[in-house]
Chain A
Amino acid sequence: MDKFSKLISDISRLWAAYMPAYLTGIRNTLIVAVAATLAGCVIGFICGVLNTIPHAKTDNPVKRFFLALIRVVVRVYVEVFRGTPMVLQAVFIYYGLPYFSDGSIAFRGNGGIWLASLLVVSINTGAYMAESVRGGIISVDPGQTEGAKAIGMTHVQTMIHVILPQALRNIIPQIGNNFIINIKDTSVMFVIGFVEFFATHRNIVGVNLMYFPSAAIEMVGYLCLTLAASFLLRWLEKRLDGSDNYELVSDDQLVMAAGTYAHPDRGTPFDEHHKPSRDEVIQEVKIGKNRGER
């Protein structure tokens, strides 16, 4: 028991001394995680859409060549960035670009570190999202595409108005996964000197060697961030699904809107508000259905 009280007092001492540093770390973690997840989604959507452009043998050779080239490029990108550790990618890009450009392209100063971190996490997320988006697009019923084509929509219109909104809904759990992974995995950006939540911990324990109490703060901190993220995503999912109920619109409103419905009692025979059929129903309710009639 006294161990616990010691831990609590250690934590409160740490927190009192380093609260601004921890909070800055949380802020930096969140900024990179949110921005990189969004950027990764954009990259993922672009790659996913490029990957699913329909190709037919009857297309002209130039178009087929370009489509094949696009697919190869996207494939290489996805495989390389999904297949290597993000720590390594960070080092590779942060030191690699200056190396190759003889220092003319370099990530200089604090801004450079920020830029490199955002870039690496975004590209990494994009590689994962590309496959998720492709899956999301494939999982939308082919009938949706046919319905859109049948009313004359082009491929781009079909994608934007029909397929992608549904694909987006389908992959929100995946986006949530990536977001939560990003919150945690931005921690590896310490290798290029980015000071986020975990790097803050490294800096602090480097001074006072209170590894365990600081780690406890980190654990609780990360857990709070990820719990808030999942809660937010659930809420977003619900909002996108819309209400389970719908309002029936009364005829009067429609008369105003359509201007073609002269009289409520003069509908078409399959209109449920058609007067003769309505009378018939009322009749049936009152005296029972006449068997011979139908």
Chain B
Amino acid sequence: MADTILEIRHLSKSFGSHEVLKDIDFTVSKGDVTAIIGASGSGKSTLLRCVNLLETPTSGEILFHGKDVTGRGVNAPEYRSHVGMVFQSFNLFNNMSVLENCIVGQVKVLKKGKDEAKENALRFLQYVGMAPYINAKPRQLSGGQKQRVAIARALAMGPEVLLFDEPTSALDPEMVGEVLNVMQQLASGGMTMLVVTHEMAFARDVSNHVVYMNQGVICEQGSPSEVLENPQKQETKDFLSRFRNN
């Protein structure tokens, strides 16, 4: 069995009296591409934000290489530097150029030298095909370009896991492809990824583990063929058929 990187155990999250996540359990091993699917409001994004500690879980544990990161004494910034995140709304730093966006974290958080950081940033910008745009500001780029830069920024930190929070949902249809291509390339390069997505084709073709969430609980999980082609639960069947009809 491959190394376990992340283990989510009995994770729950409530906003006030509203329980968004109930007793979530799953494991991410090295090289896994886990697709989290489900209807809007089923807690997918909250789950991902909990994994990155952007939300504090109400109860339960998140084990990163066996160590619980939800406790009080944990250095959250240090942990986050090992877990990259790509957002639906890109969240590139508006006051910096594309290149600076990819350098600032390496220099300030990883304490790398400027030159080394620049070289590294250029390598990943090249990888996502955004190298010619290093001098552009985020406001001058299209959605797809921004998202590719966001991926490069996350990669430049050398993360062990990359979290994607609906990376293509805010994009025009013709730009979805360029971002999915990058993600596919990453997956085949062995990157460990946790992807919240509405792209069923991506879940089917790229991921090796699919988690279907419904109303804050994991309704069904397994390999793509198990969950997407032979769903056992009625909720999963309904969800998938709704998707096919659209």
- Which A residues have a C-beta under 8 Å from some C-beta of B? 56, 58, 60, 141, 143-144, 146-154, 157, 161-162, 165-166, 169, 242, 244, 246-251, 254, 257-261, 267-273
Q: Are A250 and B132 in contact (CB-based, < 8 A)? A: yes
Binding site for A on B (CB under 8 A): 52, 54, 56, 72, 76-82, 84-85, 87, 89-95, 97, 104-105, 108-110, 118-119, 122-123, 126-129, 131-137, 140, 148, 150, 153-154, 157, 178, 181-182, 185
Cβ-defined contact, B123 with A258, below 8 A? yes
A59 to B246, CA, bound (A): 46
> Assuming the A-B contacts A58-B72, A147-B87, are A152 and B129 also in contact, with contact meaning beta carbons closer than 8 angstroms in the complex?
no
Q: Is the interface of A mostly helix, strand, loop or mixed?
A: loop
Cβ–Cβ contact B95 & A270, under 8 A: no
Give the complex CA separation of A248 and B99 in angstroms.
Answer: 12
Which residue from B56, B93, B109, B148 sits with its C-beta under 8 Å from A144? B93
A206 to nearest B CB, angstroms? 52
**Residue contact B122 to A151, C-beta cutoff 8 Å:** no
**Cα of A141 to Cα of B104 in the assembled complex, Å:** 19
Taking the nearest CB of chain B, how far is it from the CB of A260, in angstroms? 5
Q: Which residue of A lies closest to B150 (CB)?
A: A147
| Chain B residues within an 8 Å CB radius of A271 | 126, 129
Determine how close the nearest CB of chain A comes to the CB of B137; give it in whole angstroms.
7
A152 partner residues in chain B, CB cutoff 8 A:
77-82, 105, 109-110, 157
Q: A246-B133, A246-B136, A268-B185 are in contact. Are A162 and B54 (CB under 8 A)?
A: no
A56 touches B56 (CB 8 A): yes
A111 to chain B, nearest CB (A): 40
In the bound complex, do residue B153 and residue A258 qualify as a contact, i.e. CB atoms below 8 Å apart?
no
Chain B residue nearest to A254 (CB atoms) is: B131
Write out the residue numbers on chain B whose beta carbons fall within 8 Å of the beta carbon of A272: 129, 132
Residues of A close to B93: CB separation below 8 A: 144, 147-148, 161-162
**How far apart are the CA atoms of A273 and B52 in the complex, in Å?**
35
Contacts of B131 in A (CB 8 A): 249, 251, 254, 258
For residue A251, which residues in chain B have a CB less than 8 angstroms away from its CB?
Answer: 131-132
B52 to chain A, nearest CB (A): 6
